[in-house]
Each structure stands twice: as C-alpha cells, then as structure tokens.
Structure 1
Amino acid sequence: MTKYELELYVEDLFFPDNDQKSPISESQWQKWFEKWLNLVDIDFDEDKIYEISLLLTDDKEIQSLNTQFRHKNQPTDVLTFAALEADFPDHDLMDSVTLGDIIMSVETAQKQAQLQQHSLKTELAWLASHGFLHLLGWDHPDDDSLRKMLTQQEFLLNAIGLQSPAVADFFF
C-alpha cells in the first residue's frame, strides 16, 4: 500500500531530555508524514526515498529565523524551507530526495491551542500538515488558495485520526 518511502529527521529542542513530555513521538511523526506523502496527489519517483526534517523549537529561535529569512522580527508558528524550490543537482542521480525543512514553535503552538480550545497535539499536527503542503509546492497568496490549502490540511488530519481545528472560522 505504501507507494513512497519517507525518512523523517526530528530534532526536538523544545522537549529536551523529556523534562516535559512531547505529545507526539518521533515514531508517530514518521507514521503521519509517511501516510500524508502517500495520500497527496503527487507524481514522484517511487524508487526514491524522500526526506523531511522537522525541528520543534521555541519562540526565540523561530523569531531569529523569521527575522533572518522573512525579515519579520516576530515569532511565528511554522516556517518551511522547501528544497525542491532550490536549484538542485539532477534528482535522477540520487537515491533520496530532500523535500525540505519544517520548523515549528511549540510555544506559539501552545498559545494557539489554548486560544482555539484544542490540544497541543492537534495544533502541532495542524501546523505540520501546513508546512508539509508548503514543501510540496502549495501556497496561499489569496483567500481561494488558502481555503483549498485548509481543506487539504483537514483531509490530512482526518487521515491520521485527528479532528482538525476550526481554523477556517478565524480566517473567513
């Protein structure tokens, strides 16, 4: 049933040494991202291994990255850096293809989860699905594109057994 193989690299700077327990384990992240990769309508080479890195961090770190790369001196919930947008060597010569990096602020996710009255697990999955779609080329420059992306995120969350937050109500 699995069409595409995914290698996920998780670095958790927010929950070091399990002082606090992350609501999502590395193995759960791996299962979710691999499932998502196999659910979305993409035409990738089935013989390749696809790679994504996921970084969980705090507001201070994500603000630094947001300032450096987006010239916005403020924290944000998720940043994505899609590797397929960059000039890459010929993918035919490589066994694996890097899709890119997703960076999430757990601090911001906690605030958003409280505000919207759902779990941190749901918020992190929501943000991860958003970043994942950006890695695959999705964008939301206008309201119509955003609606389509939010609908796709709902589909991805439902596929892993989570109810998507009622985020669309906040945008429209």
Structure 2
Amino acid sequence: MDAQFALDLNTTPAEKICPYSDRSVSSGSRTASLDATSKHSSPVPSLSSHDSFKNSQEPRCPVIFTQEVDPNLIKISLDDRIAYLTDFLNFTSHDADVIKRIAPLVNDIIPGLVDDLYAKLFEFDITKKVFMTRNQVFMKAWARRVLTADYSNGKTWAYMDKVGIMHTGVSPFK
C-alpha cells in the first residue's frame, strides 16, 4: 500500500488522519486543520478564487472509510435496497418534507416540463426511439406521484422499485 494512503494506527481516537493530505481531522469534525509538521499542500484544488472565501473555509478531508454493501442482499430485500439508496443519496425525512411542501408549486408546471423534456429527447433519433410519445402520459403521472408520495410508507418505495425495474429491464428479485 502506498505510504501516502496508509492510516496512522497510533493516533488517538480524537484524531484521524486524512489519507489525501498531511492534515488531521478531529473526531466529530469533518474540517481539516493544518498539521504543524505539514510540508505538502493539499492536492485538492481551491473551490473559489476569492481570498476571503479561501481564508474562511478550511479544506475538507474526504471520507476515510467505505461502507460495505452486500450486493446480493440489496437484490433480494426491498428494505435493504431502500436503506442503501437512502443512505447513498442522503435522503432523509427532511427531503420528503421539502418535496411535499413544493408539490403544490411544481404540480401545475409538470405538463410543460415533461413536454419540453420530450421535445428535447425527440431532437435525436436514438433518444426518440427510447422515449416514445406514449411515455409522456406516464411521465406526467409519475412526476405528480413523486411530489405527493408518503416517503415513510413502504408502498412508496415498492412503487419506486417497480419503476426502476421497468427502466432497467432487470428484476432484482430472482
């Protein structure tokens, strides 16, 4: 293993080493602080050219662990697949609440949005073959359903799963 990416196992529980720089990250904080012995600058480019922004924001260390996901389990268990996807997307009850709050505002513009999307897709023969006109009706109904769904209900996730299966042509349940 490259020494640059090796974790220092002698660190205290309060300090973790970011494998991508010579910066340490305190437990409970995702922002990095400069190590007094640091000789190298961070390989991560600055997010802004504004000096005031650069000075006010410390560089962030990327996540230094990988969650293990059983690919077979997410194929056979809807609950486990939902847990994985909501974790991956960081989808929380707050997101579901936001969707519900904006639904009345977005509902009236769905037909126009879908029509514009399909007009763009139909500009090219290869996308037109995939997205046929009959799908427009379904897309409008789907968008409305997404906006009004109860994300705390398993039936919502079962529906989303079926839509995913329809788009991939592959059933995860074998």
In the superposition, the TM-score normalised over structure 1's length comes to 0.24
Higher strand share: 1
Comparing both chains, which one has the higher relative contact order based on Cα–Cα distances under 8 Å and sequence gaps of 6 or more?
Answer: 1
- Rg larger in 1 or in 2? 2
